[in-house]
A and B are shown apart, each in its own frame.
Chain A
């Protein structure tokens, strides 16, 4: 079975500072993908960043980077230079290999609040 754990129900960060959102995962499949999505109050899930299980380097997308530690089964999201518009719910998700189709398994999410 696949499982995603996000242990931080909520986080605060000061504007312009960096913040790390934790995510650990569990799977027996050697081939998998890890995603981070942002869900603002409007409800739409916005894709942020992707890390493949065989990728050698940590993924980066603008102010977002993924700290991928395969041995520890963690895939933490780092947001640099936080902005007020980053306040939202953040979900970590995992997609398994062929056996699991393209099914995404989501964590419970972390609410991020950016303070001015």
Chain B
């Protein structure tokens, strides 16, 4: 079974430029999450989707961040414009609707560097 796929793995951009990250969850997983992980810290939730609906986006900085999950499968996270402080790893995770633990399966992340 394929895991969560993310691309790109690495991205370097100049500040004020836009950037987008893509995530393909595990097949059949209805719930999708985007996390932000700063260096030396644990991941923090940005947004959670149930199918195509964003059910928790309370921690998404909506002035510059946006996300979408059209058709309830793939998802894209966008930053426009990027700031120096956005340099971090952006993790995507998915979980099945029914599972014993509702554990989340993570992708390898996208490491963003803003210069």
Nearest chain A CB to B111 CB, angstrom units: 7
A95 part of interface (Cβ distance < 8 Å): yes
Q: Which residues of B contact A37 (CB under 8 A)?
A: 106
B108 part of interface (Cβ distance < 8 Å): yes
Contact status of A108 and B41, CB under 8 A, knowing A43-B109, A44-B109: yes
Q: Which residues of B contact A93 (CB under 8 A)?
A: 42
- Which residues 26-78 of A sit at the B interface, judged by CB distance below 8 A? 33, 35, 37, 42-47, 50, 52
Does the CB pair A44–B48 fall under 8 Å? no
Does the CB pair B89–A103 fall under 8 Å? no
Does the CB pair B40–A50 fall under 8 Å? no
Q: Dominant SS at the A interface?
A: strand
| A76-116 near B? 1/0 per residue, CB < 8 Å | 00000000000000010101000001111011110000000
Nearest chain B CB to A4 CB, angstrom units: 8
A93 to B31, CA, bound (A): 18
Q: Which residues of B contact A33 (CB under 8 A)?
A: 101-102
Q: Which residues of B contact A43 (CB under 8 A)?
A: 89, 108-109, 111
B105 part of interface (Cβ distance < 8 Å): yes
Does the CB pair A106–B42 fall under 8 Å? yes
Contact status of A103 and B45, CB under 8 A, knowing A33-B102, A42-B108, A95-B102: yes
| B1-42 near A? 1/0 per residue, CB < 8 Å | 001000000000000000000000000000100000000111
- Among B3, B41, B42, B109, chain A packs the most CB atoms within 10 A around the CB of B42
Chain B interface: which size bin?
20 to 34
Does the CB pair A102–B48 fall under 8 Å? yes
Chain A interface: which size bin?
20 to 34
B93 part of interface (Cβ distance < 8 Å): yes
A50 to B107, CA, bound (A): 19
Contact status of A101 and B56, CB under 8 A, knowing A45-B43, A106-B44: yes
Contact status of A102 and B108, CB under 8 A, knowing A43-B89, A45-B91, A108-B42: no
Q: What is the interface of chain B, defined by CB distance below 8 A to chain A?
A: 3, 31, 40-45, 48, 55-56, 89, 91, 93, 95, 100-109, 111
Q: Can you identify 8 A-B contacts, CB atoms within 8 angstroms?
A: A37-B106, A45-B91, A47-B104, A91-B43, A103-B45, A103-B56, A104-B45, A109-B41
